[in-house]
Every structure is written in C-alpha cells, then in structure tokens.
Amino acid sequence: MTDTKTNSERYRQGRETRSAVLGAEHVARAEQNSDPFDQPFQELITEGAWGSVWSRDHWSKRERSMVTIALLAALGHYEECAMHVRAAQNTGATREDISEAMLHVAIYAGVPAANSAIKVIKDVFQKIDAENLSKEQGA
C-alpha cells in the first residue's frame, strides 16, 4: 500500500489496533491479498474503523467486541460476525459475554437473526475448541 493515508498517525494506530484485535497474521494476509481495486477499502477500514473507532479509549476492546458482534449478528453479516467471535479471544470478551449479546440481538433485532448468528458462533467455538485440543495434544 502506497497511499498517503498509510503514512498517517491514525492509519498507523488503526493498523496496530486491527492487528491486536484480529491478529497480525490476519492483517498481513489482508494486506498481501490487497490489490489496486480494494486497496482504498483496506485503507478506509484501517484508518476509519480501526484508527478512528476501535482505537478510542472510552470503551474497552472487550466492550467494542461485544457491540460489534451484536451489530453484525443483527444485520445478518455472519462471516464478519464469525471473524469477530474468533477475535474475541484477543479482546477479553468471553463466551458468556457473547451469549448475553445474542440475547440482546434476539430482543432488539429479532429471534431469527440471533438464531442464525448463534449457529455460526457455536461453529466458531467448536473450531476454536478443536484447535486448542490439537495444540494440547501436540504439546
């Protein structure tokens, strides 16, 4: 990425926060897979979402994580929801926190939205558990 935004302080902060939440490997992969078509989008989300919103210090990353998961679930963005459920391991949001967020989704956005998201979330939890078990057995 060579755009001037990549040199801004907000972009640098956003990249740092994005890496802390989603993982450095995820960010590196997104940057590696970026091309001239989606480079402006990558810069926008890094500077805007991660530098302007996620990097604010009024809410903790745990709180932002729960709100983000709830919003993504409510809007039916299940792939992004799954990514943020996995990232919750880095933010301090627990499975109980995520379960509580789904109760809010059910009441304020509808049971079908929560039900669909819960299926996706449970699948992510199963994959995380299998990965952790594999690591334990390999250690």
The residue from 12, 41, 58 where one domain ends is 58
**Number of domains present in the structure of the chain:** 2
Alpha helix (H) ranges present in the chain? 9-22, 24-33, 39-44, 61-75, 78-91, 95-109, 111-138
pLDDT digits (tens, 9 = 90+) for 43-93: 999 999 999 999 999 999 999 999 999 999 999 999 999 999 999 999 999
Q: For residue 5, is pLDDT > 70?
A: no
Domain shared by 67 and 52, yes or no = no
C-alpha distance from residue 57 to each of 17, 60, 80 (Å)? 11, 7, 23
Domain containing residue 32? 1-58
d(CA 84, CA 9): 24
